[in-house]
Amino acid sequence: MSKKRIFSEMTRRDFLRTTGMVAAGLTAGGIVGTNASKVFAAKKFDGQTLNIFTYAGAWGEMMEKQLKPRFEKETGAKMVIDLGWWDSIPKLKASPPGQPAFDLIMTDATQGYPAIKEGLFQKINMKNVPNVKNFTPEVLNNWVFNENWGVTWPDAAQTGVYNKQHVKNPPKRWSDLLKKDFDNKLGMYNSFYFSLFTFACMKVDKEGKAGTARDEVAKNLDGILQFAKEQKSRVNYWWPTSSDMAFNLLQGTVWTGNIHSVDIYPVIKEGKPVGVFVPDQDRAHFQALWLISKDTKKKELAEAAINIFCSEDFQLAYASGGFPTAAPAVAEKAAKKDAVWALINPHTKAQFKNVGYYPYDAYFKAWDHIVSFWDKEVLRK
Partner 1 sequence: MERVVAFSLRYRKWFFLAPVLVLLVGFFVIPLIWLFRVSFFLNEGASGFGVSSVRFYVPDTFTFNNYIRFFTDTYFLNIMYVTLKIGFITTVTTMVLSYPFAYYIYRAKPFVKGILLASVVIPKLINMLVLFYGLQILLGTNGLLNQFLMKFGIIGSPLSLVHNYFSVVLGKTLLILPYTVLVITAALHGIDRTLVDAAQGLGASKFRAFREVTFPLSLPGTMVGLLITIIWALGAFVSPYLLGNPDLYTLAVEVQRQTFENVNWAMGSTVAFVMLFMIMILVFFYNWFEKKREKTA
Among 240, 297, 329, 349, binds partner 1 (CB under 8 A): 240
Question: CA 328, CA 350: separation in Å to the nearest integer?
Answer: 11
Q: Does 86 bind partner 1 (CB under 8 A)?
A: yes
Neighbours of 52 (CB within 10 A): 21
Among 162, 189, 197, 238, binds partner 1 (CB under 8 A): 238
State in angstroms the smallest separation of the CB of 165 from partner 1.
9
Using CB atoms within 10 A of its CB, is residue 305 exposed (0-12), middle (13-18) or buried (19+)? buried
Chain centroid offset of residue 233 CA: 33
Q: Does 380 bind partner 1 (CB under 8 A)?
A: yes
Residue type, 158: Q
Among 93, 219, 269, 297, binds partner 1 (CB under 8 A): 93
Q: Does 236 bind partner 1 (CB under 8 A)?
A: yes
Residues for the chain: how many in total?
381
Among 72, 74, 87, 312, binds partner 1 (CB under 8 A): 87
Q: Which is nearer to partner 1, 13 or 117 (CB)?
A: 117
Q: Does 164 bind partner 1 (CB under 8 A)?
A: no
Q: Does 379 bind partner 1 (CB under 8 A)?
A: yes
Q: Which is nearer to partner 1, 128 or 243 (CB)?
A: 243
Nearest to 284 by CA among 359, 357, 199, 191: 357
Q: Does 180 bind partner 1 (CB under 8 A)?
A: no
- One DSSP character per residue, 118-160 reads TT-EE---GGG-GGGGGS-GGGG-SHHHHTTSEEEEEEEEEEE
Q: Which is nearer to partner 1, 332 or 377 (CB)?
A: 377
* Whole-angstrom Cα Rg for the chain: 28
332 within 8 A of 81, measured Cβ to Cβ: no
Backbone torsions φ then ψ of 52, nearest 5 degrees: -120, 155
Using CB atoms within 10 A of its CB, is residue 234 exposed (0-12), middle (13-18) or buried (19+)? middle
Q: Does 197 bind partner 1 (CB under 8 A)?
A: no
Q: What 3-state DSSP class applies to 292?
A: strand
State in angstroms the smallest separation of the CB of 372 from partner 1.
4
Nearest to 177 by CA among 197, 164, 162: 162
Site string for partner 1, 294-313 (x = CB under 8 A): --------------------
Among 51, 66, 75, 110, binds partner 1 (CB under 8 A): 110
Q: Does 275 bind partner 1 (CB under 8 A)?
A: no
Among 127, 169, 180, 368, binds partner 1 (CB under 8 A): 368
Among 216, 244, 263, 282, binds partner 1 (CB under 8 A): 244
Q: Which is nearer to partner 1, 45 or 286 (CB)?
A: 286
State in angstroms the smallest separation of the CB of 104 from partner 1.
20
Beta bridge partners of 258: 160
Return the exposure string of 17-32: e unless at least 16 CB atoms fall within 10 Å of the residue's CB, then b.
eeeeeeeeeeeeeeee
Site string for partner 1, 37-76 (x = CB under 8 A): ----------------------------------------
Chain centroid offset of residue 138 CA: 18
Residues that bind partner 1 (CB under 8 A): 85-87, 89-90, 93, 110-111, 113-115, 117-118, 190-191, 236-238, 240, 244, 247-248, 251-253, 364-365, 367-369, 371-372, 375-376, 379-381
